[in-house]
Amino acid sequence: MVTGCSPQSHYIEDIQYLQAMGFDYIDGEVQANGTTTIFMPVAESLPQSETINVSREDLEDLYSHMQAESSRYVDTSRSRVHLFHQDLAANEGIFGVIDTIQRNPMINQNLKIAMTRGPTKDILNEEYPFHLTVHEYLVELIELNQAEQLPIVDFQDFLYQYYAEGADPFLPLLEKAQNRVDVVGIALFKEDKYIEELSLDKTHVFRKLIDETEEGTINIDIDESRGFALHHLSSSPDWTIKQDADGIYVKVNVNIQGPLREARNINVSKPATIQQLEELAARDFEKQMEEIVHFFQENEIDPIGIGERIGQKVRNFDIKRWEKEEYPNLNVDINVNFTIENTGAVV
Amino acid sequence: MHPEAKVTKQVSPFFAFFIVTVMQVGVGIFTLPRTMIVDAGHDGWIAIVFSAVLVSIIIRIIYAMLNKGDTIITIQNKVFGKTLGSFISLFWVFYYSLFVLITLVAYVEILNVWIFPEVSLWVLYLICMLLAYNYTTSGFRAIIGGSLLAVLFVLPFLFFSHLPQGQLHFGSLFPIFDHSLHEMWLSTKTMTFQFLGFEILLMAYPFIKQAPRSHKWAQIGLVFSMIIYLIAFILPVIYFHERHLLTIIWPTLTLWKMEYIGMSIWLLVLLPNMAFGLWSASRVVKQTFNLSQRHSLRGVTLVIFGCALLFTTRIEIQSLSAFTNRLGFYTIFIYIPILFLLQALIIKRRRL
């Protein structure tokens, strides 16, 4: 009787862990691919990978169909990465899949998600040098790039921006190259549908508007022969929102500082030159940031979450109406303070 | 007529702290952020504080009342006379049992959804009820001991939550007081359900040494639960978006890093909680009808277990908790003050 009441037990050697999932959109049908890991009972043997593909229209019985493809128990609790094909994101939207994940308490919610240009199947089926499994490779790729150049966004952030009225979600955009995967920028969403993309260079600037960052590189050309580059840039944005009789005034102060690592044909020993360079870099950033904000306004998306920020400052604020009527013509006052901390180990 | 509690069965005044804390921080903490956000939104924390102030006043009234009586039963007998008093005492048996029932049902539902989807509900009900029954038979002091362990060892687990830097939106708490007074009042009403449970004092009073001195500790217990509730409310609010939070049934669990362990360990908080309820219910039966407490305890446990079997779906459980919420609210904020006034009147008239 006791065994009859106890829950099912599974042995680790018998479990196939579903660790990376990809969702493709082929001929109008959603197709799901899962990469699984099997821990072998042999000592000192490496875990092995296998990819299962199932095509299902409705996602609810996706997992049972995954099970049908495997003789081992397929366990979903350890999934780490979910990828979405661009076509799926553009045509159907990805919230259907996202909702299935958040509804299931057996799935770890600490997930990375990303959008891919090509079919996710190609990415998940590939073997990557120096990496044991595909999911490890993808997680490390996304995490490292988020430290270096992508805005930090995972499963929870996507949900936050999806539910927020005054913000729109974005995801890292990946593309398959030979035997590696490249990060090519971010994919911008309206609700859960893919709208536009932002190139990696612009993403770099964009994240300085929303996150406090510690790492990053910037290269500025003055003319053909002269230019300079800075590494380990740290930055912090400071948004000010004021409401007066004329309407709502939005301003952002971005402080960026970092050491100079490369100076081509510039004498950086003089403080006056450094000041000029700082000024130059600040203007360059301001111009780029303004371009990005305009780009968002043209597409009527708000990945920065300006509406959300205003909603937190202004009482009884109708975000929906504001996003529709006033956001496209909003004037955002961008001000960058740039500090070059030092010029490296040589004068 | 009431049996004076023996000194060997009494506990020190400061244990009132553990009684109040363990009774208040029950299973409701898991749903708290969502239920609070329905009306008052991100201003829910104001409702929590306001609700705590109201409950603090009620605890003061209860102590003022008990200092002149002994338990709610003797007070009711004095005020309403023996027959009507005994009849109203039946209500308290129902009331205490209802709180055990709602704790049991709500906890088992979480276990069923999160950990044991394959196990049928009655098995979980049976295990919980057997444990709670065993706890209760060991006596009042054993339950107090259990609640001490629960407060010291289990509540700190709540701090193992996801707190990723950069994902906490402190701005979500602003603008402060962005909701109407009516919405605030609705949330305050919802919140009182979370603070209920301290009514155990109405029966436990004679078991506390120098009981009037324990008033201070009961109030400190209330402040402690309020702080725990504030943390449990604010964390999800700054982590999830408000509209997202509305769709999550147990936000505290979703945010918890150790939800599986934590949820199992939470049984240690709920056992003294349910045991206090069972103890009080059976104690009322004993004092009113002169039945042995052991027999009445068995009866009450069986009835609660039987009732629990009737609740299987989410909607049933929700309507049960809504009913408990309303009943508790009116009992505490309307019946208790009226009883207090009547008692004061009667004492005055006798003196004249």
Last residue of a domain, one of A189, A210, A231: A210
Instruction: Determine, yes or no, domain membership for B240.
Output: yes
Phi and psi for A141 in degrees, rounded to 5?
Answer: -60, -50
Q: Are B172 and A312 in contact (CB < 8 Å)?
A: yes
- Cis geometry, peptide bond prior to residue B164 (ω within 30 degrees of 0): no
**H or E element, residue B100:** helix B82-114
Q: Which residues of A touch B180 (CB under 8 A)?
A: none
Alpha-carbon span A268 to A259, nearest angstrom: 12
Looking at the structure, tell me whether residues A126 and A221 fall in a common domain.
no
Among the partner residues A6, A156, A312, nearest to B171 by beta-carbon distance:
A312
- Any B CB within 8 A of A157 CB: yes
Among the partner residues A105, A165, A313, nearest to B174 by beta-carbon distance:
A313
- Any B CB within 8 A of A99 CB: no
Q: CA A210 → CA A151, A205, A249, B198, distances in Å? A: 8, 10, 18, 46
**pLDDT higher at A283 or A6:** A283
Domain count, chain A: 2
Looking at the structure, tell me whether residues A222 and A176 fall in a common domain.
no
Q: Helix, strand or coil for residue A72?
A: coil
Q: Is the pLDDT of residue A42 over 80?
A: no
Q: Which residues of A touch B119 (CB under 8 A)?
A: 5-7
Q: For strand A112-116 and strand A48-55, is the pairing parallel, antiparallel, or unpaired? A: unpaired
Looking at the structure, tell me whether residues A179 and A216 fall in a common domain.
no
Query: Locate tokens 């899962």: which residue?
Result: A34
Alpha-carbon span A339 to A331, nearest angstrom: 26
Alpha-carbon span B53 to B268, nearest angstrom: 28
pLDDT given for residue A31 in this prediction: 81
Looking at the structure, tell me whether residues A120 and A199 fall in a common domain.
yes
pLDDT in tens, A141-152: 998 888 888 888
Q: Are B243 and A163 in contact (CB < 8 Å)?
A: yes
CA atoms within 13 A on the CB side of A70: 25
pLDDT in tens, A280-331: 889 988 999 999 999 999 998 999 988 888 888 888 888 888 888 888 888 8
Query: Locate tokens 């004679």: which residue?
Result: B206
Instruction: Determine, yes or no, domain membership for B4.
Output: no
Closest CA relative to residue A171, chosen from A111, A221, A108? A111
Query: Locate tokens 């009774």: which residue?
Result: B23
Instruction: Determine, yes or no, domain membership for B190.
Output: yes
Query: Is B287 in contact with B73 (CB distance < 8 Å)?
Result: yes
E strand map for A39-179: 48-55, 73-75, 81-85, 112-116, 170-177
pLDDT averaged over 10-residue windows placed end to end, chain B, 352 residues: 63 91 89 89 91 94 88 88 88 93 92 85 92 92 92 85 77 84 90 89 89 91 94 90 88 82 89 94 89 90 92 86 90 92 88 73
Looking at the structure, tell me whether residues A233 and A190 fall in a common domain.
no
Range of the structural domain that residue B323 is part of: 15-351
Looking at the structure, tell me whether residues A24 and A171 fall in a common domain.
yes
Query: Is B22 in contact with B269 (CB distance < 8 Å)?
Result: yes
Among the partner residues A105, A109, A312, nearest to B114 by beta-carbon distance:
A105
ipTM score above 0.85: no
Instruction: Determine, yes or no, domain membership for B9.
Output: no
**Type of residue found at B168:** L
* CATH code of the domain containing B45: 1.20.1740.10
pLDDT given for residue B1 in this prediction: 38
What is the DSSP annotation of B128-172? HHHHHHHHHHT-HHHHHHHHHHIIIIIGGGGG-B---TT---GGG
E strand map for chain A: 15-26, 29-38, 48-55, 73-75, 81-85, 112-116, 170-177, 180-190, 193-199, 218-221, 227-230, 234-244, 247-258, 260-264, 332-340
* CATH code of the domain containing A237: 3.30.300.210
Name the residue in chain B with its Cα closest to that of A3: B119
Instruction: Determine, yes or no, domain membership for B171.
Output: yes
Q: Are A152 and B162 in contact (CB < 8 Å)?
A: no
Q: Which residues of B touch A315 (CB under 8 A)?
A: 175, 178
Tokens of B109: 């539902």
Domain count, chain B: 1
Instruction: Determine, yes or no, domain membership for B32.
Output: yes
Section A157-181 average pLDDT: 90
Alpha-carbon span B196 to B32, nearest angstrom: 13
**Type of residue found at B117:** P
